[in-house]
Amino acid sequence: MIPVDEALDRLFALVAPTETEMVPLAQSSGRVLVREVQARRDQPPFAASAMDGYAVPGGEVRPGARFAVIGEAAAGRRFDGTVGPGQAVRIFTGAPVPEGADRVVIQEDVTAEGTTITLGGNLDEGSNIRPAGGDFRIGDRISAPRRLRPQDVALAAAMNHPVLPVARRPVVALISNGDELVMPGETPGPDQIVASNTFGIKALLEAEGATVRILPAARDTAASLRLAFSLAASADLMVTIGGASVGDHDLVGRVAGELGMERAFYKVAMRPGKPLMAGRISGVPMIGLPGNPVSAMVCGHVFLRPVIRAMLGLGAGPLAPSQMRLATDVAANGPRLHYMRAEVTDQGLRPFASQDSALLSVLARADAFVIRPVDAPAASEGDTVPCLLLS
Ligand SMILES: Nc1nc2c(c(=O)[nH]1)N[C@H]1C(S)=C(S)[C@@H](COP(=O)(O)OP(=O)(O)OC[C@H]3O[C@@H](n4cnc5c(N)ncnc54)[C@H](O)[C@@H]3O)O[C@H]1N2
Ligand code: MOO
């Protein structure tokens, strides 16, 4: 058994970042930007009105002052002339401010009669003008690597980038195995169960940015598993579920070995998830998850998510833990790092009474994994402990 940190390091050593591809801006949300992009223009490209009102020479603004309105400036259609003394231009939000004007008086502070305006007695202080380049200037950057959020996409659009360089989504082949498994919606036999991990792990991988291919579930025979591995050979990463332990029908390690797997490790000092394995088969990284549903999902959060992030060029590191108070006492921990399923309450983290690694209903109610380090002493209500928040 190796510690969790070391297992993660060995996983990072197995994988490499995918290559870069260009995607249309409209499809870039959630993708990982791999090279910084620079603004191709200033924003705003001209001094722009921030309000609907009248552009005037600022020095003449005082309560009761009168101006002759000589034209109009709208967003997308500037006023070409110059504003002289005693003159104003009707202006709307986003319009270029005409030459000669350096203040916009909002229309609520003005009385208009024909082509004359009179300023009210209670004028606001600001110029109501956004300076050219006030948002960003040519050459300003969106740094990389970063996962593009909607606000990043909006900024890249304003910087005039129709396509963006992003990391290709890693393709993950998912191999479930076990004679007991049927797919959701099928009619299970008396000794069968419905495959669940397969879909939970697929969802988890896709949420991180991978493309997932679910291969037909392998039977508990070496031939069936060999076939599944051969179908997975073109993927960037193979992930098996189940068959990782020591039983007579747990064939993943044996078949992978026969196929020449260079093993990176087998068994991690964690709970749940101990029988995790990893290596490389014919050059393709392989991660073998334990079959117990909660074990597979915990390993998904602790290992698969950081691995996909590394493949997307986001760097090699664990998920960042949060620190929260315990709402209840917890017992001392043993020799395996424990990820306790817990809910987040107003009083803090409350681990569930049952931590059995088969209970998906408990996992689905969990908001967090409380992280109990190897040999951690008992902790009390109110103590601050590390945890992984689940979204
Ligand atoms: N003698 C020992 N027995 C076990 C040990 C051990 O150290 N010594 N470890 C236990 C631990 S810990 C775990 S975790 C499990 C892992 O076993 P496997 O990876 O070999 O998983 P399976 O035996 O194939 O399945 C376990 C359990 O999970 C169900 N399963 C499997 N795949 C799926 C799926 N895709 N969807 C839903 N459920 C699935 C399967 O039916 C079993 O109930 O081993 C312990 N045993
Ligand atoms: O490690 Mo197993 O994953 O405890 O159930």
**363 alpha carbon to ligand 2 midpoint, in Å?**
14
Distance between CA atoms of 229 and 146, rounded to whole angstroms?
33
Ligand having the closest approach to the CA of 241 = 1
**302 alpha carbon to ligand 1 midpoint, in Å?**
18
Nearest to 32, CA basis, from 139, 168, 138, 133? 168
DSSP codes joined into one string, 303-357: IIHHHHHHHTTS-S-PPPPEEEEBSS-BPPP-SSEEEEEEEEETTEEEE-S---T
Q: Which residues contact 127 (CB under 8 A, 6 or more apart)?
A: 58, 102, 103, 104
Those residues of the chain that have pLDDT short of 50 are none
Q: Residue 365: what pLDDT?
A: 97
Query: Can you read off the two tokens belonging to residue 335?
Result: 């020799």
| CATH superfamily label, 20-41+137-167 | Molybdopterin biosynthesis moea protein, domain 2 (3.90.105.10)
Per-domain residue ranges of the chain: 4-17+169-311, 20-41+137-167, 48-130, 322-389
Ligand 2 touching residue 272 (CB < 6 A): yes
Q: Residue 37: what pLDDT?
A: 98
Residues forming a β-bridge with 40: none
Nearest to 196, CA basis, from 358, 353, 340, 339? 358
Q: What is the value of pTM for the model shown?
A: 0.93
Q: Residue 250: what pLDDT?
A: 83
CATH fold, domain 322-389, is Beta-clip (2.40.340)
- What is the three-state SS of 364-390? HHCCEEEEECCCCCCECCCCEEEEEEC
Ligand 1 touching residue 196 (CB < 6 A): yes
Class for the domain spanning 4-17+169-311: alpha beta
Distance between CA atoms of 52 and 105, rounded to whole angstroms?
8
Query: Can you read off the two tokens belonging to residue 352?
Result: 């569930």
Q: Residue 23: what pLDDT?
A: 98
Q: Residue 75: what pLDDT?
A: 96
Q: Of all atoms in ligand 2, which is nearest to the CA of residue 270?
A: 1
CATH number of the domain located at residue range(s) 48-130 in this protein: 2.170.190.11
Q: Are strands 103-106 and 53-56 parallel, antiparallel or unpaired?
A: antiparallel
Asked if omega into 44 is within 30° of 0 (cis), the reply is: yes
- pLDDT (tens digit per residue) in 289-342: 999 999 999 999 999 999 999 999 999 999 999 999 999 999 999 999 999 999
Ligand having the closest approach to the CA of 338 = 2
Q: Residue 349: what pLDDT?
A: 98
Q: Of all atoms in ligand 1, which is nearest to the CA of residue 180?
A: 41
What is the value of ipTM here, to two decimals?
A: 0.95
Amino acid at 293: P
Ligand having the closest approach to the CA of 336 = 2
